[in-house]
Amino acid sequence: MEYKRLGSTGIKISPLVLGTMQFGWRVEKEESFAIMDKALELGINCFDTADIYSYWADNSYPGKTEKIIGEWLKDRAVREDLILASKVRGAMSKDINDQGLSRRHIWQAINGSLKRLQTEWIDLYQIHSFDNDTKIEETLHALNLLVEKGLVNYIGASNIHPWMLVESFWVSEKNGYVRFETVQPPYSIVRRMLVEHQMYNVIKKYNLGVISYSPLAGGFLSGKYSRNAPLPESPRSESVKKRYFTEHRLKVLDTVEEIAENKEVTVAQVALAWILTKDFITAPIIGVNSVEQLESNLVALEIKFDQDELKKLDEVSDWIPAYEAIR
């Protein structure tokens, strides 16, 4: 496996990151342990989580996912082998101050995450999205302190607008704070614009690491969905239908299916391999519900497209990329 430098940081990560959102929601502890064991064994050295996972599920609560990871880290004694990424921002309880990016909540959140994860540090601590109620100066001051105290190595930002990121760099520079080193946006062959529009320029100019999420569009590109097939049994299927069943995206899926069939690989493998052709993405974060899905998705690392295939995929999913529009 070829490890990649994470933006301007000094660390290297695997070309696929293991997502953990489904731990405690779609898969319980035993299967979660098996997936993490296999991921590490296969060379994936970076896991992504968040303090709120998986608050939305009837069978779960905020912090459950981190707790499962923490138990695994302790049981397997592998903390040193991993780049661990988590997030702060979402509501951890009904308390109005137990959410957001205030200094108070960031301290509360890091203490909770470190305890649940049973670790002394988090490698990459990300804001889960922006917080309009808190000044970026306050947030960055708090995050800077976490780095100074050795509780966090790097900070990153998920679901943030490009202009906010640039503003945050000015604040970091002016005050001598650490800056956001990574971004975590959604990115897939059916959801390109968010990254390829203005964010692309910021990523390049500031040499940011990009660990993008939902590479299979929440399952739309997993092979289980197709233009005329009934929706698969999944708690995500209704939201997938709502977001992705448009003519443009179904045409992209048709092409991915066609190329997968010709290459005798899976739809998911083609969709992941296409992301791996994009040099501005450091590593997509994959979400799997079983060891079998994990092993299957990793085959994407070996798939190469010829020029015709790549042209077809790029064109069918295209919009006007910012780097061409500004030429």
Ligand X SMILES: NC(=O)c1ccc[n+]([C@@H]2O[C@H](COP(=O)([O-])OP(=O)(O)OC[C@H]3O[C@@H](n4cnc5c(N)ncnc54)[C@H](OP(=O)(O)O)[C@@H]3O)[C@@H](O)[C@H]2O)c1
Q: Is 32 in the site for ligand X (CB under 6 A)?
A: no
Residue whose structure tokens are 């399952």: 219
Binding string, residues 149-188; x marks residues near ligand X by CB under 6 A: ---------xx------------------------x----
Beta carbon of residue 307, minimum distance to ligand X (angstroms, whole number): 26
Q: Which is nearer to ligand X, 137 or 236 (CB)?
A: 236
From 53, 125, 213, 225, the catalytic residue? 53
- CB distance 143 to 137 below 8 Å: no
Binding string, residues 47-86; x marks residues near ligand X by CB under 6 A: -x--------------------------------------
| Given 6, 14, 16, 22, the residue binding ligand X (CB under 6 A) | 22
Beta carbon of residue 234, minimum distance to ligand X (angstroms, whole number): 3
Residue whose structure tokens are 């995050």: 143
Q: Which is nearer to ligand X, 68 or 176 (CB)?
A: 68
| Given 73, 219, 305, 317, the residue binding ligand X (CB under 6 A) | 219
- What's the CA gap between 288 and 35, in Å, rounded? 8
Quick check: is 53 catalytic? Answer: yes
Q: By three-state DSSP, how is residue 275 classified?
A: helix
Q: Which is nearer to ligand X, 198 or 293 (CB)?
A: 293
| Spatial CA neighbour of 220 closest among 232, 211, 203, 228 | 232
- CB distance 280 to 200 below 8 Å: yes
| Given 55, 102, 215, 270, the residue binding ligand X (CB under 6 A) | 215
| Given 40, 84, 122, 285, the residue binding ligand X (CB under 6 A) | 285
Beta carbon of residue 308, minimum distance to ligand X (angstroms, whole number): 25
Beta carbon of residue 215, minimum distance to ligand X (angstroms, whole number): 5
Residue whose structure tokens are 């064991």: 37
Q: Which is nearer to ligand X, 25 or 177 (CB)?
A: 25
Beta carbon of residue 262, minimum distance to ligand X (angstroms, whole number): 19
- What's the CA gap between 51 and 85, in Å, rounded? 10
Binding string, residues 234-253; x marks residues near ligand X by CB under 6 A: x-x-----------------
List alpha helices for 149-186, DSSP H.
162-175
Sign of the alpha-carbon torsion through 255, 279, 13, 41: positive
Name the amino acid, one letter, at 274: W
Stretch that binds ligand X, among 160-168, 172-180, 243-251, 283-291 (CB under 6 A): 283-291
Neighbours of 279 (CB within 10 A): 8
- Name the strand (E) or helix (H) holding 15: none
Residue whose structure tokens are 């002016």: 174
CA separation, residue 158 to residues 87, 165, 182, 241, 302 (Å): 8, 10, 8, 24, 28
Stretch that binds ligand X, among 99-107, 175-183, 241-249, 291-299 (CB under 6 A): 291-299
Residues 6 or more apart whose CB falls under 8 angstroms from that of 295 comprise 38, 42
Stretch that binds ligand X, among 131-139, 169-177, 194-202, 287-295 (CB under 6 A): 287-295
- CB distance 260 to 271 below 8 Å: no
Residue whose structure tokens are 């939305």: 56
- What's the CA gap between 257 and 43, in Å, rounded? 28
Binding site for ligand X (CB under 6 A): 19-22, 26, 48, 158-159, 184, 213-219, 222-224, 234, 236, 268, 285-289, 293, 296-297
Instruction: Give catalytic residues, as residue numbers.
Output: 53
